[in-house]
Amino acid sequence: MKTTYVNWGEATVKLTWNADRELPPRERITSVHGFCFKDDQLLLVHLHHRGWDFPGGHIEKKETPEECLKREAYEEGYVSGSPSLLGHIIVDHRENPIWDQNGPYPQIGYQVFYRVDIDQLHEFQGKYESIERIFINPSEVAGYYQDWNGLYQEILDEACNGADSS
């Protein structure tokens, strides 16, 4: 397990990668994300007000994490595919002095990550929150994603290695 600290606004948050292939408690999952691949190329989506990112978002009511990722991958990247659970990031606010117990996020929450093998590219329409999609060599991601860090790199490495075992 790799741990790092990041600044989200004025908050400093502890993030720990857990490659356990079991889902954490549903009520504490704050978001779901996917590293999506087509022919060994990584999908990035250009999101309004955030820049380049990988598809992901918040779970809607009655949605499973996998269903959420499939929806987000379609809405942001206009792709469909088969997700495989990689693990999750533990988002720990216990050392965050400005964490708000009445806020939307639990003191300890989880961001779930999947690898998605794209089986269908749909026409890109830009109707939701993305304005563009590109496919890149995974080794180039740090040049696009402004907040790229070692934790994301570890997850991406896991996702790339997952292609070898499938």
Question: In which domain, by residue range, is 158 found?
Answer: 3-165
Q: Which residues contact 28 (CB under 8 A, 6 or more apart)?
A: 106, 108, 109, 110
Per-residue pLDDT for 112 more than 50? yes
d(CA 22, CA 80): 23
pLDDT in tens, 28-53: 999 999 999 999 999 999 998 889 99
Distance of CA 27 to the CA centre of its chain: 18
pLDDT in tens, 121-153: 999 998 888 999 999 999 999 999 988 989 999
Single out the residue of 33, 34, 32, 29 nearest to residue 105, CA to CA. Answer: 29
Per-residue pLDDT for 163 more than 70? no
Per-residue pLDDT for 166 more than 50? no
Per-residue pLDDT for 165 more than 50? no
Per-residue pLDDT for 76 more than 90? yes
> What's the full length of the chain, in residues?
166
Q: Quote the pTM value.
A: 0.93
- What percent of the chain has a predicted confidence (pLDDT) above 90? 80
d(CA 69, CA 114): 8
Residue 112 sits in a domain whose CATH number is 3.90.79.10
d(CA 56, CA 113): 9
- Expressed in percent and rounded to 5, the helix, strand and coil fractions of the chain are 25, 45, 35
What is the domain count for the chain?
1
Q: Which of 22-26, 122-126, 149-153, 159-163 has the lowest mean pLDDT?
A: 159-163
